[in-house]
Amino acid sequence: MLTVNFWVEDIVAVVRAKVGNLRRYEVPCAVDVRRMPPLRRYVDMGLAEIRNGVLVVRRDAVTATPLGRAMVKTVSCLSTRPTSVKKVAECAGMDVAKTAFVVSLLRVLYPATLEIFGGYSADSVFAQYGVGAKLPAREMWDEITKLAERGIVVPNPALIRGGRPTVVRSRAAKYSIPPILAAVDYRDAVVLDVGSGFGTKGAATIRWGARHVILLDIDETILRARGNGLLIDRVVGDAHMLPIRSRGVDVAIFWNVYNFLHRPEEAVAEIKRVAKRAVAFSVYNALSGRYVDYRQFLDTASKWGRVKAVRRLGDSQYQAVVEL
């Protein structure tokens, strides 16, 4: 089915309700409080926590909130059969407008749990705009809640009766250390992770024999969250003008940064200046970044040297190891 993903301010985009990426207008799946402000807010509120890359919802904390209680009441009043929202409201002891709000919220946030019908479906509301369409959130919300007030709810039976909740590990966490990175020779190397973020990839090279790792990012907050180590330094810097001497590092990691730079070719030249052994390079065609096609990716990689290994993940991500 279709749902929406909040875009910027009051604008939403229609997306397919399947795990994927926003470039293909699919729901993204990532567990990273540093890059996802809404998730950070839930963690700070005590409603959820991250354990070993897995999002764990604190049920007691959620159900203690007014909205959480309303959602529990609503779900408990759903049956495996289609039920009018008015009957659900009577069962839950809430007015119809509040119940319609909760039902609509469940449908938008968790489209696998239920569908709303009232002469037409919630899915058809999104379909009339089309996948990728951008629309005012209020316009969408008013139409869905009005449908819910007069409509019926058809839940997913497996989630209402006898279904078991499962923990879903995000694809971002599962593949945070891409296998292709192991194709680089890190023995006794000084490694520079450009646009490192939290530094997961840069730090991982230590287990492959790196002598020292420099995590470089323009975001000081995320670098502070990492902390230092005996083999790791953190540097606040700009990829367009690296504060590293020429040929000062053996290996540069330039992972999922290229698309989001204002002047990417300057960063490419800077990496060529500072690295002397290899470059691990990836582009990620997220919707918020510049789209890079596969040919452009290969052309960019070849500016450093010989492409030793390459991996293509559809049109969303390309990965390569380049020997200098």
Q: Which residue shows structure tokens 């998730």?
A: 39
What is the CB-side half-sphere exposure of residue 166 using CA atoms within 13 A? 7
pLDDT at site 54: 72
Which ranges of the chain have pLDDT less than 70?
A: 6-9, 19-38, 53, 157-176, 227-229, 286-288
Question: What residues contact 47, with CB distance under 8 A and at least 6 apart?
Answer: 57, 58, 61, 62, 65
Q: Which amino acid is at 204?
A: A
**Residue 113 confidence (pLDDT):** 83
- Is residue 124 within 8 A of residue 117, CB to CB? The reply is no
What is the three-state SS of 40-56? HHHHHCCCEEEECCEEE
Task: Give SS3 for 103.
Answer: helix
User: 10 Å Cβ neighbour count for 136?
Assistant: 12
Give the per-residue pLDDT at 318: 94
Per residue in 11-57, pLDDT (tens digit) is 888 888 876 665 666 666 566 666 565 677 788 888 888 877 677 88
Provide the pLDDT for residue 23. Answer: 60
pLDDT at 175 (0 to 100): 44
Give the pLDDT confidence score for residue 165 in this predicted structure.
Answer: 42
| The predicted structure's pLDDT at residue 29 | 59
Contacts 24+ apart (CB under 8 A), 115-122: 115/1, 115/153, 115/154, 116/144, 116/147, 116/148, 116/151, 116/152, 116/153, 116/154, 117/82, 117/151, 117/152, 117/154, 118/147, 118/148, 118/150, 118/151, 118/152, 119/151, 120/147, 122/1, 122/147, 122/148
Res 323: pLDDT = 97
> What confidence score (pLDDT) does residue 41 get?
76
pLDDT of residue 308: 95
What pLDDT score was predicted for residue 33? 66
145: enclosing H helix or E strand: helix 137-150
Residue 293 pLDDT: 92
Q: What local confidence, expressed as pLDDT, does residue 179 receive? A: 87
